[in-house]
Structure 1
Amino acid sequence: MNELGERIRKLREESGLSKAELARRVGVSDVTISYWENGTIKRVGHSRLEPLAKALRCSIGHLLGNALSDCGSTSAVPMSLPLYPLTTSPETVGIGAAPMSHFPMGFIDNQLIKKDDYLLTPQHPGHFDFCPQGTLMLARNCSRFDGNGLYLVERNDRLGIKRIEQDFDMFLNIFGEIDAAEPEERMHGDGIVFHAAIPAIWSMKVMNF
């Protein structure tokens, strides 16, 4: 039985990667990927194991059949990310929220993803600064300010995406437009609820589905 080849194929498909894309990431031809998967080549060279495991979001041990490897642990990064619809309602996020689908990891730079990250995409009705309709946002749960950047926040029972920067006086400056020079508001943090940091935003047109 070609267990290694079957494992490569399964992990590749779960990651949403084509043979050509996986080949590009590993530095081999797509023919080589086919040979690995169908068992024509039964071993993967040592120099290819690390980039192959990295591309498939797995440890080398798991790739080679070690059931105790970290790919089966609770700390492993998933093969896909839950995608939630973003509306202005706070019920969009939190324990009771349900994802609209799961997004394959093959379309996203693996280096960006951490455990428990998820995706948001704006829905009608409602306008969101920094992320118009047709964008994907990488979201990472947080309950407080954790450095300058974009955040999903709740203010006056409404969700919004804001750029938040802390000044030398420890006030939080809240910006609502991409190129705004002056903040909408300046506060110590009272009256704002942090739901998630937004480390990355993509246009779905650029991602070439």
Structure 2
Amino acid sequence: MQSLGARIKELRLRAELNKAELARRIGVSDVTISYWESGAIKQIGHERLVALADALTCSLSTLLEGDNRSALPVLSHTGPFPWKQMNASPIDVSDSVLPIRLPWHAPAFIATPGPDTHFDPLKAGDLALLGPTEVFQQAGHYLVSNGSQLEIKHLDALPSSELPLHAILLCHWRAV
């Protein structure tokens, strides 16, 4: 799989931009662009990723996953879970450039809400990074079963009841 730095360089060259022009469009130095492309800087914040995708005239999914990816797994209210879909490929977030604020050391999956679905706080076209888990001892947005439906709920603490927690929403990006 191609690294993010290699994709940034490839997309920059495809857009016929030099490092200085791309840096100006994003509001960073050309040295920062060099560090991103070389992989010397591995963490790129959400706002910078959005600005980078915009400056490179590509989607966030193309920036994060490349052109040759299969269609993203889809979140639907009736399942299947994104990690059980045929096109699901886990990503290792332990050495990730994604701005994850949770200590997560397991594979995670990028998915997007399906058509005609509502998964607050996600909107149509957003990308969501979900970490499948049985129990995660932290407040956050979880993919839970509510009867026969799946939904995302914010939990300040894990419930004492047997609420089925299927995944935690590690982070998400707005569609651009």
Please point out which of 112, 116, 127 is paired with 1:136.
127
Please point out which of 83, 88, 92 is paired with 2:77.
88
With over 3 angstroms needed to count, the CA separation of the structure-2 counterparts of 1:51 and 1:132, relative to structure 1, is: closer
- Look at both structures and tell me which one has the larger radius of gyration over its CA atoms: 1
Correspondence for 1:150: 141
TM-score (norm 1): 0.48
Structure 1 segments unaligned to the other structure (5+ residues): 1-9, 34-47, 58-78, 173-187
Equivalent AA in structure 2 for residue 84 of structure 1:
P
**Which structure's residues are more often strand, by fraction?**
1
Equivalent AA in structure 1 for residue 169 of structure 2:
I
Structure 2 segments unaligned to the other structure (5+ residues): 44-63
Equivalent AA in structure 1 for residue 98 of structure 2:
N
> Deviation string for 1:54-107 (max 9, x for gaps)?
4579xxxxxxxxxxxxxxxxxxxxx84983111111313343x1227899x9xx
How do 1:7-26 and structure 2 match up within 5 A?
11=2, 15-18=6-9, 20=12
1:28 aligns to what SS in structure 2?
Answer: helix
Correspondence for 2:98: 110
Q: Please give the alpha-carbon distance, in whole angstroms, between the structure 2 residues aligned to 1:11 and 1:145.
A: 30
With over 3 angstroms needed to count, the CA separation of the structure-2 counterparts of 1:131 and 1:157, relative to structure 1, is: same
Correspondence for 2:150: 159
Equivalent AA in structure 1 for residue 38 of structure 2:
L
Equivalent AA in structure 2 for residue 28 of structure 1:
V
Q: Please give the alpha-carbon distance, in whole angstroms, between the structure 2 residues aligned to 1:11 and 1:121.
A: 21
**C-alpha RMSD over aligned residues:** 4.3
Correspondence for 1:98: 86
The alignment covers a number of residue pairs equal to 134
TM-score (norm 2): 0.56
Correspondence for 1:52: 38
Equivalent AA in structure 2 for residue 110 of structure 1:
L
> Shift in Å at residue 52 of structure 1?
2.9
Correspondence for 1:198: 169
> Shift in Å at residue 126 of structure 1?
2.5
Q: Please give the alpha-carbon distance, in whole angstroms, between the structure 2 residues aligned to 1:193 and 1:18.
A: 42
Correspondence for 2:55: none
Correspondence for 2:117: 126
Q: Does structure 1 conserve the Cα–Cα contact (< 8 Å) formed by 2:140 and 2:155?
A: yes
The percentage of counterpart residues that share the same residue type is 17
1:124 aligns to what SS in structure 2?
Answer: coil
Q: Please give the alpha-carbon distance, in whole angstroms, between the structure 2 residues aligned to 1:26 and 1:117.
A: 31
> Shift in Å at residue 111 of structure 1?
4.8
Q: Please give the alpha-carbon distance, in whole angstroms, between the structure 1 residues aligned to 2:88 and 2:111.
A: 10
